[in-house]
Amino acid sequence: MRNVVLVCLDAVRKDFFDEYARRLRDRAGVEYAQARAVSGWSVPSHASMFTGTLPHEHGIHTFNRDFSGLTREETFLGELPDHEALGASANVYASDAFGFDGLFDAYRSVSPDRRFPEGLDAERWGQEADETGLARYLAFLRSAVDHEHPLSSVANGVLVEIDDWLADAPFEKPLDDGANIVAREARRLVSAATEPFVLFTNFMDVHGPLTPVRAYDSTLYDAPPSWSSRAFDGRAVEHGEIDEIRDDIEHHRDLYAAATEYLDRVVDDLVDWLHANTDEETTVVVTADHGENLGYEADRRLFAHRSGLTEGLLHVPLLVLNPPEEIDPVTDYVSHLRLGDFVTGLANGTVPTVTDDVILAERIGFNVPVNPNATPLRDEDRAIRVAYEGAAKYQWDSLGNRYRYQLDPDRPSWQELDAEGVNINEYETTLFKTPISEYRQRVETASDNQLSTVGDSVEERLADLGYR
């Protein structure tokens, strides 16, 4: 049996990965050129990656973001009972705040606001404290000293203050958005684990908001040191207001590239450490839960991943470092619905065949909380389904739209509208268990609205990431 590490580079799209993740691509033993995520944002995508089922089947999506009802036996981890399950994530949705940690034997939920996860959560403490001025600092210091991990608690408080103080400073951020924390915690988990193990990691540095960071390769961007992607509203691009914010668009794309290149370095170093510090053979799978819209024409001029199922969102990297055997690059479709089979096979010493002639994707609603009973239903709130076959991508939704897009295997993250009003009945009736309109109507009811209640610190983190 082998150790398997599943690296999720959150929000990294395929075309940018191909250009800026050269280290990981150079050392890959297997690369899958046509991998697709199952959905367009973190919550349903993570659930599908682990269960191998579509969002309308596992039920974890816009209207239910809680993973706590999911058992290990319902995921591929249940197929690996001899492997210790470890995880370290900077994604707030893939964290203890939403019950994602319950699938693992040991898990570290980290964020830029809690760089030492074993210590006191300084941000949460601050929202619950009543003191002001000097008394506030003294009260925090007392709480930190009384904590089980006082030094880590004090460090969390100091670093939160530094981050706040430097938020509008005219120079690059000195600290990244969690990559080094995730890598550090991954090392700690592996050092304390019994082999064989499965390790899941989620790196969020490419996920917006984007801003210059000292560790980034500055030759890849010319954004001012204090620039932030919060400086412009990506929806303006959708409305055709491009000239007014052209510089901001380029800064955003350049920093997205720089963050991708930075993660390439961080993960490459982590892979070196894993190979040097594990007794069993360790195989590393690199992918993304979804990509990102960057305002290109093929993205329908959309920014971020609030809605839709463009190729910018669905076409993701998938490669394997140190596989049981090296094989030629795979150019057939691979869906994240088969990721569990893939990881399980690798853990047992094989490179399983996980390609399919037809693969599916699905989105249930907007990823920002909405009123499920709103009338009329907003375009973003619709349910969307996709089927890939050959060079065509078929997309339909609960509003009655029916599209066919043309794809090009040599142009990652690209699509072009080919036809409207196409017949999708064969895909809808034979490949999905519940009709799209029926399922979308079901989750419109208040009784199905199961949005998780979380604390203020989690709400602030979600707002910072654009989910509120």
Where do the domains of the chain lie?
3-112+175-356, 117-174
Q: What per-residue confidence (pLDDT) applies to 149?
A: 85
- Read off the pLDDT of each residue in 242-251 and give the average, rounded to a whole number: 88
The 10 Å Cβ neighbour count of residue 342 is 27
**pLDDT surpassing 60 at residue 373:** no
Confidence of residue 366 (pLDDT cuts 50, 70, 90): confident
pLDDT tens-digit series, residues 94-134: 998 899 999 999 999 987 777 788 888 776 666 667 777 77
What number of H helices and E strands is found in the chain? 15, 15
Range list of H helices, 315-376: 339-347
Rounded to 5, what percent of the chain is helix, strand, coil?
40, 20, 40
pLDDT tens-digit series, residues 383-398: 999 999 999 999 999 9
- Read off the pLDDT of each residue in 9-16 and give the average, rounded to a whole number: 98
**pLDDT surpassing 60 at residue 285:** yes
Whether the model clears a pTM of 0.85, i.e. scores above it, the answer is yes
Distances (CA, A) of 15 to 12, 104, 292, 331, 352: 9, 32, 11, 15, 25
**pLDDT surpassing 80 at residue 449:** no
The one-character DSSP state at 96 is G
The 10 Å Cβ neighbour count of residue 438 is 11
Confidence of residue 280 (pLDDT cuts 50, 70, 90): very high
**pLDDT surpassing 50 at residue 376:** no
Rg (CA), the chain: 22
402 and 390 in contact (C-beta within 8 Å)?
A: no
Task: Tell how far CA 373 is from the center of its chain.
Answer: 28
Task: Tell how far CA 193 is from the center of its chain.
Answer: 25
**pLDDT surpassing 70 at residue 327:** yes
Pairing of strands 3-9, 282-287: parallel
298 or 439, which is more confident? 298
State whether CATH 3.20.20.100 applies to domain 3-112+175-356.
Answer: no
Looking at 124-138, 175-189, 286-300, which range is the least confident one?
Answer: 124-138
Confidence of residue 454 (pLDDT cuts 50, 70, 90): low
**pLDDT surpassing 50 at residue 372:** no
**pLDDT surpassing 90 at residue 266:** yes
Looking at 367-381, 404-418, 429-443, which range is the least confident one?
Answer: 367-381
375-384 long-range contacts, Cβ below 8 Å, gap at least 24?
377/444, 379/307, 380/306, 380/307, 382/440, 383/56, 383/436, 383/437, 383/439, 383/440, 384/308, 384/309
Confidence of residue 452 (pLDDT cuts 50, 70, 90): low
Residue 232's H or E segment, with its range, is none
Cα–Cα distance measured from residue 17 to residue 379, given in angstroms and rounded to the nearest whole number? 30
Cα–Cα distance measured from residue 92 to residue 335, given in angstroms and rounded to the nearest whole number? 24
Cα–Cα distance measured from residue 102 to residue 71, given in angstroms and rounded to the nearest whole number? 8
pLDDT tens-digit series, residues 43-96: 999 999 999 999 999 999 988 899 999 999 999 999 999 999 999 999 989 998
Range list of H helices, 150-196: 150-166, 179-192
Q: What per-residue confidence (pLDDT) applies to 140?
A: 81
Residue 207: what are its φ and ψ, rounded to 5°? -65, 135
